[in-house]
Amino acid sequence: MKEKIDSIREKLLSELEEINDLKSLNDLKVLYMGKKGPISELSSMMGSLSIEEKKEFGKALNDLKNEVNNLLDTKKNTLEEAELNKRLENEKIDITLPSTKLHVGGVHPITKVIDEVEELFISMGYDVVEGPEIEQDLYNFEKLNLPKGHPARDSQDSFYITEEMLLRTQTSSVQARTMEANKEKTPIRMICPGKTYRRDNDDATHSHQFHQIEGLVIDENISLADLKGTLEIFAKKMFGEDRVIRFRPSFFPFTEPSIEVDVTCFKCGGVGCPLCKGTGWIEILGAGMVHPNVLRDNGYDPEKYTGFAFGIGPERVAMLKYGINDIRNFYTNDVRFLNDFNRVIGGDNDASK
Ligand code: DAH
């Protein structure tokens, strides 16, 4: 018996030497440990032995079983490790290879300006709201103190679809909508960025479709000083920390008083240069205190509530900020223009480098 056990061990050891893959190893395992294998065969011979012999032989057979299992397991581990190493070697990436340039889409300059303005006003507690581009005359004009026949309508030559419907000429329409929706709840603090349309002939400074960002704040005790403080923060964020603003009287039907806001020229710092046409000031937006008629027509008691409004032109801001001198560049989608704002990852102008 002992010889048989030894010869099984010897044979297994030599056969294991030859095995180089997991499949053959598994076959070998079935061969040795299976029902028809040499170990089972020895077990079945136990019946004919004496009790003494059974004890001795049983133990030796058990030891053999354990040993065979261990040998097979150890071989399995070795093969698996070798296989893993081979795979890792094959899949190795050479990170020292130079990368290929990857072109990704860029953020359009107008979107960039809108994003920046949204971020600023959200940080000051404003909501960002939207309104329809196909608008009722009611919200675009009438509820903004611009009744039918009002001469100020002429300055906003409109695309009418029917008598009552038009492409909105200004995001100010969303002032009326927001007040109406809030039903005299305060405070209202909102900005509304969006597209606007006018029957203008396109040239370097006019476009039949452009953008506005409306701003509206309504509460008790809102004053012109609040407007000034707010717009100063805006001017500094968009045009630089050292900027100072000034108000000039103006006229908009929905505000009283109405103002135009200038910022000190960010190119020359206010001494005068071609950008600011020698004045040291650049006009950036229109604003004012919400007209009592507008408050009343939209459900707010003008004796109790006051508010301010402003209208930012993202095209104008982008043109000033990025030195663009033709508004049509924003819409013709010439990639040479847009590429100035794009990022090429891994390329020479990769901003992340
Ligand atoms: N909607 C005005 C325009 O298109 C811009 C504007 C001016 C909006 C003053 C305002 C404002 O809210 O207060 O010319």
Contact 113 CB / ligand 1 (< 6 Å): no
How far is ligand 1, taken at its centre, from the CA of residue 275, in Å? 24
Distance (angstroms) between ligand 1 centre and the Cα of 252 equals: 7
Ligand 1 mutation pick, 175, 310, 315, 316, max ligand atoms within 8 A of CB: 310
Query: Higher-confidence residue: 353 or 161?
Result: 161
| pLDDT value of position 342 | 66
**So where are the chain's domains?**
2-90, 109-344
CA of 258 to the centre of ligand 1 (A): 9
List, for residues 175-203, the tens digit of each pLDDT value.
999 999 999 999 999 999 999 999 999 99
CATH class of 109-344: alpha beta
The strand order across the sheet containing 127-128 reads: 127-128, 188-197, 209-219, 306-312, 281-290, 255-264, 245-252
Query: Is 70 exceeded by the pLDDT of residue 344?
Result: no
Range in 97-101, 292-296, 328-332 with the lowest mean pLDDT = 97-101
Return the minimum-mean-pLDDT range out of 77-91, 135-149, 295-309: 77-91
Residue 125's φ and ψ, nearest 5 degrees, are: 90, 15
Question: 286 CA to middle of ligand 1, Å?
Answer: 5
Beta bridge partners of 310: 215, 287
Whether 116 and 239 have beta carbons less than 8 Å apart is answered as: no
131 lines ligand 1 (CB under 6 A): no
Which residue has a Cα nearest atom 4 of ligand 1?
Answer: 170
Type of residue numbered 41: E
- Ligand 1: atom nearest CA of 308 is 13
Selected residue with higher pLDDT from 257 and 94: 257
CA 306/CA 292 separation, integer angstroms? 8
